[in-house]
């Protein structure tokens, strides 16, 4: 007869320690996370961009108004005619597309800023991303000249327009000034700016 032998098998279960386990995300988990973030970012971006455009228009209008008022004060302080203009990167006064504001004493009366000759009192960089400036002035072309005795413009009236590049009329505005020295911000809804 046969003897039967019983064999017992014991399974040894080894659990890896935390340092031996694979840490991180699978490719699927990573792709799902990125997709969800892209959807949320897209929804937020659709709301954020118009708010940034409105903020730039408002800040630019306030900056222009403040700049003209400061120029009026400086004309009274220095007791010399003060010239204001919108300038490009080369500090040349321009009618369209300027990126900074210049306030200077025009020593050679040529209605342009000459770095070696004129005294630059104030320069402000605008850093516009969503629009540009257009200057519409009376006789002086691209500059505003303020009287030393009153701070008022010398025979010049006009305005500086902020025109959004996307054509959004809600963000169009102009900073207007007259011969009595009143400076005001006029949104497009009150008076057409004439932006292209």
| CATH number for the domain that contains residue 86 | 3.55.40.10
- pLDDT band of residue 26 (cuts 50, 70, 90) is confident
Average pLDDT over residues 59-81: 95
pLDDT for the residue numbered 57: 96
Question: Per-residue pLDDT averaged across 57-79, rounded?
Answer: 95
Residue 9 in domain: no
Q: Is 158 part of a structural domain of the chain?
A: yes
Q: What is the DSSP string of 16-73?
A: PPTTTSPPS--HHHHHHHHHHHHHHHHHHHHHHHHHHHHHHHHHHHHHHHHHHHHHHH
Question: So what's the pLDDT on residue 15?
Answer: 61
d(CA 108, CA 90): 19
Mean pLDDT, the chain, integer = 87
Q: What proportion of the chain, given as a percentage, has pLDDT over 90?
A: 61
Within a domain: 81: yes
Residue 196 lies in a domain: no
- Tell me the pLDDT tens digit for each residue of 106-134: 999 998 999 999 999 999 999 999 999 99
In a domain, 8, yes or no: no
Residue 158 and residue 133 in contact, taking contact as beta carbons nearer than 8 Å: no
Average pLDDT rounded to a whole number, residues 16-42: 78
Residue 195 within a domain:
no
pLDDT of residue 12: 61
- Residue 4 pLDDT level (bands cut at 50, 70, 90): low
Q: Does residue 13 fall inside a structural domain? A: no
The total number of structural domains that make up the chain: 1
Residues 135-177 have pLDDT tens digits of 887 665 788 999 999 999 886 678 999 999 999 999 999 999 8
- pLDDT, residue 181, reads 83
Cα distance between residue 64 and residue 166, in whole Å = 21
Task: Tell me the pTM.
Answer: 0.77
Report yes or no on 10 lying in a domain: no
- Write out the residue range of the structural domain in which residue 142 sits: 27-187
């Amino acid at each position: 007869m046969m003897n039967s032998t019983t064999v017992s098998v014991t399974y040894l279960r080894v659990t890896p320690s935390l340092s031996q386990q694979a840490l991180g995300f699978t490719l699927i988990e990573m792709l799902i996370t990125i997709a969800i973030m892209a959807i949320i970012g897209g929804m937020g971006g659709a709301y954020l961009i118009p708010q940034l455009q409105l903020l730039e228009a408002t800040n630019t209008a306030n900056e222009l108004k403040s700049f003209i008022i400061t120029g009026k004060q400086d004309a009274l302080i220095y007791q010399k005619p003060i010239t204001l203009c919108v300038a490009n990167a080369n500090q040349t006064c321009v009618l369209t597309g300027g990126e900074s504001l210049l306030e200077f004493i025009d020593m050679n009366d040529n209605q342009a800023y000459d770095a070696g000759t004129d005294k630059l009192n104030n320069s402000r960089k605008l850093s516009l991303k969503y629009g540009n400036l257009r200057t519409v002035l009376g006789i002086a072309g691209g500059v505003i000249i303020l009287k030393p005795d009153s701070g008022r413009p010398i025979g010049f009236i006009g305005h500086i327009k902020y025109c959004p590049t996307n054509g959004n009329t809600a963000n169009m505005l102009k900073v207007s000034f007259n011969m009595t020295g009143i400076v005001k911000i006029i949104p497009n809804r009150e008076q057409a700016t004439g932006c292209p």
